[in-house]
Amino acid sequence: MDIYLIDWASLLLRWLHVITAVAWIGASFYFVWLDNSLEPPTSEDARSRGVGGELWAVHGGGFYNPQKYPVAPAFMPQKLHWFYWESYSTWLSGFGLLTVIYLFNANAFLIDKSLFDWSPPAAIAGSLLYLAMGWLFYDAICRGFGGRAGGDRLVGILVTAYVVAATWLACQLFAGRAAFVLTGAMIATIMSANVLMVIIPGQRKVMAQMKAGEPVDPAHGQRAKQRSVHNTYFTLPVLIAMLSNHYGMLYQGRNNWMVLVLLMLAGVLIRQFFLLRHKEVISWRWWVGGIAIIVGLVVWLAPKAGSDETAAVSGTPGTAGAKADFAQVKAIVDQRCVLCHNGAVAQKNVRVDSAAAIGRHAQQIYQQVVLTKLMPLGNATGMTDAERAAVGRWFDQGAALE
Protein backbone atom coordinates (compact mmCIF):
# COMPACT_ATOMS: atom_id res chain seq x y z
CA MET A 1 0.00 0.00 0.00
CA ASP A 2 2.86 2.37 0.79
CA ILE A 3 4.28 1.93 -2.71
CA TYR A 4 0.81 2.44 -4.19
CA LEU A 5 0.35 5.72 -2.31
CA ILE A 6 3.84 6.88 -3.22
CA ASP A 7 3.01 6.26 -6.88
CA TRP A 8 -0.10 8.44 -6.54
CA ALA A 9 1.89 11.16 -4.77
CA SER A 10 4.50 11.01 -7.54
CA LEU A 11 1.85 11.24 -10.26
CA LEU A 12 -0.01 14.18 -8.72
CA LEU A 13 3.15 16.10 -7.82
CA ARG A 14 4.54 15.54 -11.30
CA TRP A 15 1.29 16.80 -12.81
CA LEU A 16 1.33 19.90 -10.59
CA HIS A 17 4.99 20.47 -11.33
CA VAL A 18 4.43 20.40 -15.09
CA ILE A 19 1.44 22.77 -14.84
CA THR A 20 3.27 25.34 -12.74
CA ALA A 21 6.44 25.02 -14.82
CA VAL A 22 4.47 25.71 -18.00
CA ALA A 23 3.03 28.83 -16.36
CA TRP A 24 6.44 30.03 -15.12
CA ILE A 25 8.35 29.32 -18.31
CA GLY A 26 5.55 30.78 -20.42
CA ALA A 27 5.52 34.02 -18.44
CA SER A 28 9.32 34.20 -18.43
CA PHE A 29 9.60 33.63 -22.17
CA TYR A 30 6.87 36.17 -22.85
CA PHE A 31 8.49 38.96 -20.84
CA VAL A 32 11.92 38.26 -22.32
CA TRP A 33 10.37 38.43 -25.79
CA LEU A 34 8.54 41.61 -24.77
CA ASP A 35 11.73 43.30 -23.55
CA ASN A 36 13.59 42.37 -26.70
CA SER A 37 10.76 43.51 -28.99
CA LEU A 38 10.01 46.94 -27.51
CA GLU A 39 10.47 50.01 -29.68
CA PRO A 40 10.82 53.66 -28.64
CA PRO A 41 7.38 55.25 -28.18
CA THR A 42 6.16 57.31 -31.11
CA SER A 43 3.80 59.61 -29.22
CA GLU A 44 4.96 62.63 -27.25
CA ASP A 45 2.45 61.76 -24.52
CA ALA A 46 4.08 58.36 -23.91
CA ARG A 47 7.56 59.87 -23.87
CA SER A 48 6.49 62.58 -21.42
CA ARG A 49 5.17 59.90 -19.06
CA GLY A 50 8.56 58.21 -19.03
CA VAL A 51 7.68 55.26 -21.27
CA GLY A 52 10.92 53.75 -22.53
CA GLY A 53 9.49 51.22 -24.96
CA GLU A 54 6.22 49.88 -26.32
CA LEU A 55 4.78 47.57 -28.92
CA TRP A 56 1.51 46.64 -30.50
CA ALA A 57 0.32 43.03 -30.62
CA VAL A 58 -2.79 41.14 -31.63
CA HIS A 59 -4.01 38.02 -29.90
CA GLY A 60 -7.32 36.31 -29.27
CA GLY A 61 -9.29 38.78 -31.31
CA GLY A 62 -7.99 41.90 -29.55
CA PHE A 63 -5.18 44.45 -29.80
CA TYR A 64 -2.69 45.05 -27.00
CA ASN A 65 -0.31 47.94 -26.41
CA PRO A 66 2.19 47.04 -23.63
CA GLN A 67 4.41 49.87 -22.44
CA LYS A 68 7.53 49.65 -20.28
CA TYR A 69 8.82 52.23 -17.80
CA PRO A 70 12.58 51.61 -17.50
CA VAL A 71 12.68 52.71 -13.84
CA ALA A 72 9.15 53.42 -12.53
CA PRO A 73 5.98 55.30 -13.53
CA ALA A 74 5.23 58.70 -12.06
CA PHE A 75 2.45 57.29 -9.84
CA MET A 76 1.66 54.04 -8.11
CA PRO A 77 -1.07 52.07 -9.95
CA GLN A 78 -4.01 50.98 -7.82
CA LYS A 79 -3.85 47.43 -9.13
CA LEU A 80 -0.51 45.86 -9.91
CA HIS A 81 -0.08 42.32 -11.21
CA TRP A 82 2.84 40.34 -9.80
CA PHE A 83 4.53 37.35 -11.35
CA TYR A 84 6.05 35.16 -8.67
CA TRP A 85 3.57 32.46 -7.68
CA GLU A 86 4.51 30.51 -10.82
CA SER A 87 8.15 30.39 -9.72
CA TYR A 88 7.46 29.45 -6.11
CA SER A 89 4.87 26.82 -7.02
CA THR A 90 7.18 25.24 -9.58
CA TRP A 91 10.03 24.96 -7.08
CA LEU A 92 7.85 23.67 -4.24
CA SER A 93 6.15 21.03 -6.38
CA GLY A 94 9.51 20.02 -7.84
CA PHE A 95 11.08 19.70 -4.42
CA GLY A 96 8.11 17.65 -3.28
CA LEU A 97 8.60 15.33 -6.24
CA LEU A 98 12.33 15.08 -5.52
CA THR A 99 11.51 14.19 -1.92
CA VAL A 100 8.94 11.51 -2.75
CA ILE A 101 11.01 9.79 -5.44
CA TYR A 102 14.64 10.34 -4.45
CA LEU A 103 14.94 11.35 -0.81
CA PHE A 104 12.41 8.83 0.52
CA ASN A 105 14.20 6.14 -1.50
CA ALA A 106 17.76 7.36 -1.16
CA ASN A 107 19.26 3.89 -0.94
CA ALA A 108 17.76 2.94 -4.30
CA PHE A 109 17.81 6.22 -6.21
CA LEU A 110 20.53 8.47 -4.78
CA ILE A 111 23.29 6.00 -4.01
CA ASP A 112 25.51 4.06 -6.38
CA LYS A 113 28.03 2.30 -4.16
CA SER A 114 30.35 1.71 -7.09
CA LEU A 115 30.76 5.49 -7.26
CA PHE A 116 30.54 6.61 -3.64
CA ASP A 117 29.58 4.42 -0.71
CA TRP A 118 27.69 6.49 1.82
CA SER A 119 24.64 6.06 4.01
CA PRO A 120 21.15 7.23 2.95
CA PRO A 121 21.08 10.05 5.56
CA ALA A 122 24.46 11.27 4.35
CA ALA A 123 23.35 11.10 0.70
CA ILE A 124 20.19 13.07 1.52
CA ALA A 125 22.19 15.70 3.38
CA GLY A 126 24.67 15.83 0.50
CA SER A 127 21.91 16.37 -2.06
CA LEU A 128 20.35 19.20 -0.05
CA LEU A 129 23.76 20.82 0.43
CA TYR A 130 24.34 20.50 -3.32
CA LEU A 131 21.16 22.50 -4.01
CA ALA A 132 22.00 25.17 -1.44
CA MET A 133 25.61 25.60 -2.52
CA GLY A 134 24.51 26.16 -6.10
CA TRP A 135 22.59 29.29 -5.09
CA LEU A 136 25.29 30.53 -2.68
CA PHE A 137 28.09 30.26 -5.25
CA TYR A 138 25.98 31.72 -8.05
CA ASP A 139 24.79 34.66 -5.95
CA ALA A 140 28.34 35.35 -4.75
CA ILE A 141 29.56 35.42 -8.35
CA CYS A 142 26.82 37.86 -9.40
CA ARG A 143 27.36 40.18 -6.46
CA GLY A 144 31.13 40.02 -6.64
CA PHE A 145 31.62 40.54 -10.37
CA GLY A 146 28.31 41.73 -11.82
CA GLY A 147 28.84 45.43 -11.20
CA ARG A 148 32.21 45.69 -12.91
CA ALA A 149 32.94 46.84 -16.45
CA GLY A 150 32.42 43.81 -18.66
CA GLY A 151 30.95 42.10 -15.62
CA ASP A 152 28.13 40.34 -17.46
CA ARG A 153 30.56 38.40 -19.61
CA LEU A 154 32.75 37.51 -16.63
CA VAL A 155 29.72 36.43 -14.61
CA GLY A 156 28.60 34.23 -17.51
CA ILE A 157 32.01 32.56 -17.71
CA LEU A 158 32.25 31.97 -13.96
CA VAL A 159 28.68 30.66 -13.66
CA THR A 160 29.27 28.31 -16.59
CA ALA A 161 32.48 27.05 -14.98
CA TYR A 162 30.66 26.45 -11.70
CA VAL A 163 27.81 24.56 -13.38
CA VAL A 164 30.31 22.33 -15.21
CA ALA A 165 32.23 21.64 -12.00
CA ALA A 166 29.02 20.97 -10.06
CA THR A 167 27.77 18.59 -12.78
CA TRP A 168 31.05 16.65 -12.62
CA LEU A 169 30.87 16.47 -8.83
CA ALA A 170 27.26 15.26 -8.81
CA CYS A 171 28.13 12.46 -11.23
CA GLN A 172 30.98 11.35 -8.92
CA LEU A 173 28.83 11.28 -5.79
CA PHE A 174 25.34 10.21 -6.84
CA ALA A 175 23.81 7.55 -9.06
CA GLY A 176 23.73 8.78 -12.65
CA ARG A 177 19.99 9.30 -12.83
CA ALA A 178 19.95 11.19 -9.53
CA ALA A 179 22.96 13.27 -10.56
CA PHE A 180 21.11 14.52 -13.65
CA VAL A 181 17.99 15.37 -11.64
CA LEU A 182 19.94 17.08 -8.87
CA THR A 183 21.87 19.20 -11.37
CA GLY A 184 18.62 20.32 -12.95
CA ALA A 185 17.16 20.96 -9.49
CA MET A 186 20.23 22.98 -8.50
CA ILE A 187 19.84 25.29 -11.50
CA ALA A 188 16.08 25.50 -10.92
CA THR A 189 16.78 26.47 -7.30
CA ILE A 190 19.02 29.29 -8.54
CA MET A 191 16.22 30.45 -10.85
CA SER A 192 13.56 30.47 -8.15
CA ALA A 193 15.91 32.04 -5.60
CA ASN A 194 16.58 34.82 -8.12
CA VAL A 195 12.88 35.61 -8.00
CA LEU A 196 12.54 35.23 -4.22
CA MET A 197 15.80 36.87 -3.12
CA VAL A 198 16.52 39.51 -5.76
CA ILE A 199 13.79 40.29 -8.29
CA ILE A 200 10.73 40.58 -6.02
CA PRO A 201 12.57 42.30 -3.12
CA GLY A 202 13.97 44.82 -5.60
CA GLN A 203 10.51 45.55 -6.95
CA ARG A 204 9.17 46.02 -3.42
CA LYS A 205 11.94 48.50 -2.64
CA VAL A 206 11.05 50.47 -5.75
CA MET A 207 7.43 50.59 -4.63
CA ALA A 208 8.44 51.70 -1.14
CA GLN A 209 10.54 54.53 -2.59
CA MET A 210 7.66 55.62 -4.81
CA LYS A 211 5.21 55.67 -1.89
CA ALA A 212 7.67 57.67 0.20
CA GLY A 213 8.14 60.19 -2.60
CA GLU A 214 11.84 59.36 -2.82
CA PRO A 215 13.88 59.07 -6.03
CA VAL A 216 13.77 55.52 -7.37
CA ASP A 217 17.13 53.75 -7.38
CA PRO A 218 17.56 52.26 -10.89
CA ALA A 219 19.99 49.64 -9.52
CA HIS A 220 17.07 47.51 -8.36
CA GLY A 221 15.65 47.25 -11.85
CA GLN A 222 19.06 46.64 -13.39
CA ARG A 223 19.83 43.84 -10.95
CA ALA A 224 16.43 42.26 -11.50
CA LYS A 225 16.91 42.45 -15.25
CA GLN A 226 20.30 40.73 -14.99
CA ARG A 227 18.86 37.85 -12.96
CA SER A 228 15.86 37.56 -15.27
CA VAL A 229 18.18 37.23 -18.28
CA HIS A 230 20.15 34.54 -16.45
CA ASN A 231 16.93 32.67 -15.78
CA THR A 232 15.99 32.59 -19.44
CA TYR A 233 19.38 31.05 -20.32
CA PHE A 234 18.95 28.50 -17.53
CA THR A 235 15.52 27.35 -18.70
CA LEU A 236 16.43 24.93 -21.49
CA PRO A 237 19.34 23.37 -19.54
CA VAL A 238 16.97 22.70 -16.63
CA LEU A 239 14.39 21.12 -18.90
CA ILE A 240 16.88 18.80 -20.61
CA ALA A 241 18.42 17.81 -17.27
CA MET A 242 14.99 16.85 -15.95
CA LEU A 243 13.96 14.99 -19.11
CA SER A 244 17.26 13.22 -19.72
CA ASN A 245 17.10 11.22 -16.50
CA HIS A 246 14.46 9.04 -18.17
CA TYR A 247 17.00 7.80 -20.74
CA GLY A 248 19.61 5.38 -19.46
CA MET A 249 21.78 5.81 -22.55
CA LEU A 250 22.60 9.33 -21.33
CA TYR A 251 23.45 8.86 -17.67
CA GLN A 252 24.84 5.32 -17.47
CA GLY A 253 28.14 5.94 -19.24
CA ARG A 254 31.51 6.66 -17.68
CA ASN A 255 31.51 10.27 -18.90
CA ASN A 256 27.86 10.99 -18.11
CA TRP A 257 28.74 14.41 -16.67
CA MET A 258 30.10 15.47 -20.05
CA VAL A 259 26.94 14.26 -21.76
CA LEU A 260 24.79 16.42 -19.50
CA VAL A 261 27.06 19.46 -19.88
CA LEU A 262 26.91 19.20 -23.68
CA LEU A 263 23.12 18.80 -23.65
CA MET A 264 22.77 21.88 -21.47
CA LEU A 265 25.17 23.81 -23.70
CA ALA A 266 23.07 22.90 -26.74
CA GLY A 267 20.05 24.32 -24.93
CA VAL A 268 21.87 27.59 -24.20
CA LEU A 269 22.94 27.99 -27.85
CA ILE A 270 19.44 27.31 -29.15
CA ARG A 271 17.99 29.78 -26.63
CA GLN A 272 20.50 32.39 -27.78
CA PHE A 273 19.27 31.98 -31.35
CA PHE A 274 15.71 32.78 -30.29
CA LEU A 275 16.76 35.68 -28.07
CA LEU A 276 18.50 37.30 -31.02
CA ARG A 277 15.56 36.52 -33.27
CA HIS A 278 13.34 38.54 -30.91
CA LYS A 279 15.50 41.50 -31.91
CA GLU A 280 15.09 40.58 -35.59
CA VAL A 281 18.66 39.31 -35.78
CA ILE A 282 18.79 35.95 -37.54
CA SER A 283 22.08 34.30 -36.61
CA TRP A 284 21.90 30.66 -37.61
CA ARG A 285 25.30 29.79 -36.13
CA TRP A 286 23.76 29.51 -32.65
CA TRP A 287 20.99 27.16 -33.74
CA VAL A 288 23.37 25.16 -35.93
CA GLY A 289 25.86 24.95 -33.08
CA GLY A 290 23.23 23.57 -30.71
CA ILE A 291 22.00 21.01 -33.22
CA ALA A 292 25.59 20.02 -34.08
CA ILE A 293 26.25 19.25 -30.41
CA ILE A 294 23.15 17.06 -30.25
CA VAL A 295 24.11 15.23 -33.45
CA GLY A 296 27.60 14.74 -32.05
CA LEU A 297 26.13 13.21 -28.90
CA VAL A 298 23.95 10.87 -30.96
CA VAL A 299 27.05 9.63 -32.80
CA TRP A 300 29.20 9.47 -29.67
CA LEU A 301 26.69 7.48 -27.60
CA ALA A 302 25.62 5.13 -30.40
CA PRO A 303 26.35 1.46 -29.56
CA LYS A 304 29.45 0.31 -31.39
CA ALA A 305 29.40 -2.92 -33.39
CA GLY A 306 30.73 -5.73 -31.23
CA SER A 307 30.60 -3.68 -28.02
CA ASP A 308 28.87 -4.64 -24.79
CA GLU A 309 26.21 -2.01 -25.45
CA THR A 310 25.35 -3.54 -28.81
CA ALA A 311 25.38 -6.98 -27.28
CA ALA A 312 22.88 -5.95 -24.66
CA VAL A 313 20.34 -5.08 -27.35
CA SER A 314 20.99 -7.39 -30.26
CA GLY A 315 22.92 -10.25 -28.70
CA THR A 316 26.51 -10.88 -27.77
CA PRO A 317 29.11 -10.66 -30.56
CA GLY A 318 28.96 -13.63 -32.83
CA THR A 319 25.74 -14.96 -31.24
CA ALA A 320 23.02 -12.82 -32.80
CA GLY A 321 21.43 -15.91 -34.30
CA ALA A 322 22.00 -18.18 -31.30
CA LYS A 323 18.99 -20.00 -29.89
CA ALA A 324 17.56 -18.20 -26.90
CA ASP A 325 17.49 -20.33 -23.75
CA PHE A 326 14.52 -19.63 -21.47
CA ALA A 327 16.10 -21.58 -18.65
CA GLN A 328 18.99 -19.14 -18.74
CA VAL A 329 16.60 -16.16 -18.85
CA LYS A 330 14.61 -17.50 -15.90
CA ALA A 331 17.81 -17.98 -13.93
CA ILE A 332 18.76 -14.36 -14.64
CA VAL A 333 15.32 -13.09 -13.63
CA ASP A 334 15.34 -15.21 -10.47
CA GLN A 335 18.72 -13.84 -9.45
CA ARG A 336 18.36 -10.21 -10.49
CA CYS A 337 14.66 -9.34 -10.47
CA VAL A 338 12.60 -11.56 -8.18
CA LEU A 339 13.92 -9.85 -5.05
CA CYS A 340 11.63 -6.87 -5.78
CA HIS A 341 9.00 -8.54 -7.98
CA ASN A 342 7.58 -11.50 -6.07
CA GLY A 343 4.41 -12.46 -4.32
CA ALA A 344 5.38 -10.67 -1.12
CA VAL A 345 6.70 -7.42 -2.61
CA ALA A 346 5.58 -7.09 -6.26
CA GLN A 347 6.76 -3.54 -6.79
CA LYS A 348 4.71 -1.66 -9.40
CA ASN A 349 2.30 -4.64 -9.17
CA VAL A 350 4.68 -6.69 -11.30
CA ARG A 351 5.58 -10.28 -10.40
CA VAL A 352 8.18 -12.31 -12.28
CA ASP A 353 8.55 -15.24 -9.88
CA SER A 354 7.17 -17.87 -12.26
CA ALA A 355 7.53 -18.83 -15.91
CA ALA A 356 3.98 -17.72 -16.66
CA ALA A 357 4.56 -14.33 -14.99
CA ILE A 358 7.75 -13.81 -16.97
CA GLY A 359 5.84 -14.53 -20.16
CA ARG A 360 3.07 -12.06 -19.29
CA HIS A 361 5.60 -9.30 -18.64
CA ALA A 362 8.04 -10.18 -21.43
CA GLN A 363 7.66 -6.85 -23.21
CA GLN A 364 8.07 -4.85 -19.99
CA ILE A 365 11.12 -6.89 -19.06
CA TYR A 366 12.63 -6.25 -22.49
CA GLN A 367 11.92 -2.54 -22.32
CA GLN A 368 13.21 -2.03 -18.78
CA VAL A 369 16.14 -4.46 -18.80
CA VAL A 370 17.44 -4.30 -22.38
CA LEU A 371 16.34 -1.06 -24.06
CA THR A 372 16.41 1.54 -21.29
CA LYS A 373 18.49 -0.42 -18.74
CA LEU A 374 16.46 1.20 -15.96
CA MET A 375 16.06 -2.13 -14.20
CA PRO A 376 17.24 -3.50 -11.89
CA LEU A 377 16.89 -0.13 -10.18
CA GLY A 378 20.36 1.36 -9.86
CA ASN A 379 21.54 -2.08 -11.00
CA ALA A 380 21.49 -2.97 -7.32
CA THR A 381 21.61 -6.70 -8.09
CA GLY A 382 24.50 -6.38 -10.55
CA MET A 383 22.97 -7.50 -13.83
CA THR A 384 25.69 -7.80 -16.48
CA ASP A 385 25.60 -6.75 -20.14
CA ALA A 386 25.85 -10.41 -21.14
CA GLU A 387 22.72 -11.17 -19.10
CA ARG A 388 20.87 -8.26 -20.68
CA ALA A 389 21.97 -9.62 -24.08
CA ALA A 390 20.52 -13.03 -23.24
CA VAL A 391 17.18 -11.44 -22.31
CA GLY A 392 17.29 -9.43 -25.55
CA ARG A 393 17.87 -12.53 -27.71
CA TRP A 394 15.06 -14.37 -25.92
CA PHE A 395 12.57 -11.57 -26.61
CA ASP A 396 13.72 -11.06 -30.21
CA GLN A 397 13.20 -14.76 -30.91
CA GLY A 398 9.62 -14.79 -29.65
CA ALA A 399 9.93 -14.92 -25.85
CA ALA A 400 9.19 -18.63 -25.76
CA LEU A 401 8.79 -20.23 -22.32
CA GLU A 402 10.44 -23.50 -23.21
Supply the pLDDT for residue 103.
92
Give the model's pLDDT for residue 278. 87
Q: What pLDDT score does 373 carry? A: 76
Q: Render pLDDT for 76-113 as a digit per residue (tens, 0 to 9).
A: 888 888 889 999 999 999 999 999 989 988 887 898 88
| Least confident span in 247-251, 282-286, 310-314, 330-334 | 310-314
Residues spanned by CATH 1.10.760 within the chain?
Answer: 308-396
Residues of the chain above pLDDT 70, percent: 94
Q: How confident is the model at residue 168 (pLDDT cuts 50, 70, 90)?
A: very high
pLDDT at 158 (0 to 100): 95
pLDDT at 317 (0 to 100) = 42
Q: What is the pLDDT of residue 305?
A: 62
Determine the average pLDDT of the residues in 56-72: 89
At 319 the pLDDT is 46
pLDDT class for 322, splitting at 50, 70, 90? Answer: low
- pLDDT tier for residue 307 given thresholds of 50, 70 and 90: low
Determine the average pLDDT of the residues in 219-238.
91
Average pLDDT over residues 341-349: 76
pLDDT at 318 over 60: no
Per-residue pLDDT tens over the stretch 102-157: 998 888 789 888 889 899 999 999 999 999 999 999 999 999 887 777 778 899 99
pLDDT above 90: residue 347: no
Residue 392 has pLDDT above 70, yes or no: yes
Work out the average pLDDT over 156-168.
96
CATH number at 308-396: 1.10.760
Whether residue 219 is predicted with pLDDT greater than 70 in this model: the reply is: yes
User: What is the 3-state secondary structure of the chain?
Assistant: CHHHHHHHHHHHHHHHHHHHHHHHHHHHHHHHHHHHHCECCCCHHHHHCCCCEECCEEECCEEECCEECCCCCCCCCCCCCCCCHHHHHHHHHHHHHHHHHHHCCHHHHCCCCCCCCCCHHHHHHHHHHHHHHHHHHHHHHHHHHCCCCCHHHHHHHHHHHHHHHHHHHHHHHCCHHHHHHHHHHHHHHHHHHHHHHHHHHHHHHHHHHHHCCCCCCHHHHHHHHHHHHHHHHHHHHHHHHHHHCCCHHHHCCCCHHHHHHHHHHHHHHHHHHHHHHHCCCCCHHHHHHHHHHHHHHHHHHCCCCCCHHHHHHHCCCCCCCCCCCHHHHHHHHHHHCCCCCCCCCCHHHCCCCCHHHHHHCHHHHHHHHHHCCCCCHHHCCCCCHHHHHHHHHHHHCCCCCC
Q: What is the pTM of this model?
A: 0.83
Q: What is the pLDDT of residue 214?
A: 85
**Stretch among 22-26, 107-111, 250-254, 347-351 having the lowest mean pLDDT:** 347-351
What was the pLDDT predicted at 354? 86
In this prediction, residue 321 carries a pLDDT of: 53
Q: If you average pLDDT over every residue of the chain, what do you get?
A: 87
pLDDT at site 279: 85
183-194 average pLDDT score: 97
